[in-house]
Structure 1
Amino acid sequence: MTGERTGDPERHETAAERADRRWTETLQEVRVAQTGAQILFGFLLSVAFTPRFQTLSRPVEMLYVVAVALGALATGTLIAPVAYHRLLAGRHLKPELVDAVGRLVSVGVVLLALAVNLSVLLLLLVATDNWLAWLVTSLITLWFTVCWLVLPVLLLRSGGRRAS
């Protein structure tokens, strides 16, 4: 029954209300990630039209191709919730929609992190052409991993202990 109160007893919401709330929260998350992915992807597309692009070594050129591909994949994945919603709206599948889109957003964020890191590496290799590019990119990758994965997992674990 959609009117039956379920889930978190502190919220006093029905399954439908919970799905609506989760959908709204997901959309807010997607807006942030989508914007970053689109800006990065636009920047990457413009790089090929600069005079300096013609002077890139083959390995750096291949790095660029991978960064563009990851940027495109991240952008497409983070825009996919719009298509899901258009196709599934009004079909009483909101909980399933929220779960599927949540998985898509997770994949999109990983693709975005990879695209950002490869873009930083690309930029630093072109700007410095030395080992410092690899060191800085490694540190940024570590920082993303800590901020986007390790800290949330630690919070989840500590919250789980408190709830027990």
Structure 2
Amino acid sequence: MTNTVTAGAGADEERDAVEDGRDETEAEQADRKWVELLQEIRVAQTGVQILFGFLLTVVFQPTYGRLEDVDRAIHIVTVVLGALATGALIGPVSLHRIVAGRRVKHKAVVWASRMTFVGLVLLLVTMAAALLLVLRVATHNAYVPYLVSGVVLWYLVCWFLLPLWVRHRHTTT
């Protein structure tokens, strides 16, 4: 049975039909993909919410006023990035609630998947900026940008390069 695929990353989202080996209707497939997406979002939401909460409390610390202007600017940018990441990762819940019962779950899955991807990219940048801020304040060393770059590279490998390699290597069409 050929099923319509309506979720995934990149070009896969726009495919009209693909054989995935499952015997399910389009509605069943959309339901399954929605549940899978929600499980993925739960992991990312927890991380971004904890990080964002921490970032919000920093300005209330007595030592915040003694930060260099550059560090305060990094903090402000990091807070904004954290807010954007939080919005993108919580957005799919709002999307689902607003379109529930309208028979557009397949499209909701596509858009929620896109928001989740954007949220993950924003989370990566937020974590990098937070790490930059903490290491600058804690160490005052010139090697901080290299450490942060190494961590960002690791995130890119784990979050994007390895999954893309697996997708490329093991996808059959």
TM-score, normalised by the number of residues in structure 1: 0.93
**Aligned counterpart for 1:38 among listed residues 46, 49, 63:** 49
Secondary structure of the 1:90 match is coil
CA contact (8 A) 1:121 1:134 kept: yes
Unaligned stretches of 5+ residues in structure 2? 5-18
User: CA deviation digits over 1:14-51, x for unaligned, max 9?
Assistant: 11100000000000011111111100000000111111
Letter of the aligned partner of 1:58 in structure 2? D
Letter of the aligned partner of 2:54 in structure 1? F
CA contact (8 A) 1:5 1:15 kept: no
Q: 1:102 & 1:96 partners in 2: Cα distance?
A: 10
1:27 aligns with 2:38: yes
Shift of 1:11: 1.3
Q: 1:9 & 1:87 partners in 2: Cα distance?
A: 29
**Aligned counterpart for 1:112 among listed residues 114, 123, 135:** 123
Shift of 1:5: 6.3
Letter of the aligned partner of 1:156 in structure 2? R
1:6 aligns with 2:6: no
1:130 aligns with 2:127: no
**Aligned counterpart for 1:49 among listed residues 60, 68, 72:** 60
Letter of the aligned partner of 1:29 in structure 2? E
**Aligned counterpart for 1:144 among listed residues 152, 155, 161:** 155
Shift of 1:153: 1.1
The residue correspondences of 1:51-66 to structure 2 (distance < 5 A) are 51-66=62-77
Moved more, 76-85 or 16-25: 76-85
The root-mean-square deviation of aligned C-alpha atoms, in Å, is 1.3
The count of aligned residue pairs is 159
Identity over aligned residues, as a percent? 45
Letter of the aligned partner of 1:127 in structure 2? A
Q: 1:47 & 1:36 partners in 2: Cα distance?
A: 17
CA contact (8 A) 1:5 1:14 kept: no
* Structure 1 ranges of 4+ moved more than 6 A: none
Letter of the aligned partner of 1:123 in structure 2? V
Letter of the aligned partner of 2:24 in structure 1? E
Relative to structure 1, is the Cα distance of residues 133 and 17 closer, same or farther in structure 2, using a 3 angstrom cutoff? same
Shift of 1:86: 1.2
Moved more, 101-110 or 125-134: 125-134
Unaligned stretches of 5+ residues in structure 1? none
Q: 2:3 & 2:141 partners in 1: Cα distance?
A: 57
**Aligned counterpart for 2:107 among listed residues 92, 96, 115:** 96
